[in-house]
Amino acid sequence: MQILIKNGRLLDPESGTDKVTDVLIEDGVVTMIGADLKLPAPKKRENGRAVGADDDVISDESRIIDASGCWVTPGLVDLHVHLRDPGLTYKEDIGTGAEAGAHGGFTTICAMPNTKPVIDTPDKLNYVRFKAAALSPIHVMQIGAITYGQKGEQLADITGLVDAGAPAISEDGKSVMDARIAMEAFKLAAHLGIPICAHCEDRNLVNGGVVNEDANAIRLKLPGIPNAAEDVITARDLVLAAETGGHLHLCHVSTAGAVEMIRTAKAQGVHVTAEVCPHHFTMTSDDIRTDNPQYKMNPPLRSAADRDALIEGLKDGTIDCIATDHAPHAANEKFGSMKTAAFGISGLETAVPLAITRLVEPGILSPLELIRRMSSNPAKAFNLMEEYGDGKVAVGNPADIAIIDPAEEWVIDRKKFVSKGKNTPFDGWKVRGRVKCTICEGEVVYKDGGFYND
């Protein structure tokens, strides 16, 4: 397979490249980057019949993509996705979730372990790995659980999970409340060289809350979740990371207090990385006008001051990554009151336009810096760049590439989501920026209609 991407604006954070150029892909690998590249004579088909070498010929084995006006970026990497497989496949499964990822420009997604059963043994992890190999158009990495059954009582087979391919461990959906067990996990993770992905939430402080604890909660007559619920565990886990030398990766940061603690910890040499979700840097609790379950997520939408702190953290590098926390649900689970509906929104297919609209268009991040936070930084956080070549476009590297039109305006329509989960508060939003093509290991796994020059 040969693909020649012409006239695109290559944004490669790892090399610092930001220029209009061509990219040639052959047999799954980037083979040339430069101006005015020509498509080499295609290889012969298996039956021996030669294919013409004319640049205008588009065959099964050679394609030219005109990327004029578009960004050509490393395939995006999402460190925080819920694929609901095994056990909850009515919400999502590995195939549909991975297809949604490809639609969103992602070539690698990392699945959280809070499935049914929980991914707490190598055999369970291998179920995901083998199914992804059969069904997924992109790379699916399965994160392992910290404790058996995510009960917080006994460490899972973490060594076995890592040997089976887990890039990290997490108790996502909750925190390991027992600090002694959490410290044991940090020590083992440090020994194995993997990060602990922490969902920071003191369940006692949550106390049944469903929205941010502020005037909007009072207006809506809904129980609130204080910032302290996140901040207390954030502080604890930063201390444990400092004490053990472990790598702490903080999931879906939502409070100004957490941002400041991360900033201070980094200055003190603590090994910490952090992610923020598009919904948290885009909306606030003020956007919740009615008791609408589409706005129910965990952590909740916070105040304007919190949102502004997240944006500043992205801008100054305190927050390393943008992740979606893609959390698909069936329609009946996001119906009725926020008091009873499920937490979470579907995020893989809206991340790019929301980030361009809210961060690039206002000049908060440059295009290169945005792509850094969606590709190379996540890849480095989970050691995926070193091991698999994720997060960069370079000669000799696997051809995992997204092509994005940053100028296209469109309206989000949840009915058109590839994901089974249509749950989103962004339905009907006018946004700018659209993924036009996703290439994984040199294969076109998603393309917008009419994008090829045939």
Catalytic residues: 325
- C-alpha–C-alpha distance, residues 133 and 136, integer Å: 6
Structure tokens given for 280: 């948290």
For residues 212-223, one letter each, b for 16 or more C-beta atoms within 10 angstroms of the residue's C-beta and e for the rest, the string is: bbbebbeebebe
Q: Check: CB of residue 77 under 8 Å from CB of residue 101.
A: no
SS (H, E, C) 84-140: CCCCCCCCCCHHHHHHHHHHCCEEEEEECCCCCCCCCCHHHHHHHHHHHHHHCCCEE
Q: Check: CB of residue 87 under 8 Å from CB of residue 117.
A: yes
Q: In this structure, what DSSP letter does residue 31 have?
A: E
How many Cα atoms sit within 13 Å of 338 on the Cβ side? 27
- C-alpha–C-alpha distance, residues 404 and 16, integer Å: 18
Neighbours of 59 (CB within 10 A): 13
| Separation in Å, CA 106 to CA 174, 386, 422 | 26, 18, 18
Q: Which residues pair with 169 in a beta bridge?
A: 144, 196
Is 203 in a helix, a strand, or coil?
A: helix
Q: Check: CB of residue 109 under 8 Å from CB of residue 348.
A: yes
- Helical H segments across 110-248, by residue range: 122-135, 158-163, 179-192, 203-206, 215-220, 227-244
Amino acid at 68: S
Cα angle 349, 386, 244; round to 5: 95
Q: Check: CB of residue 38 under 8 Å from CB of residue 64.
A: no
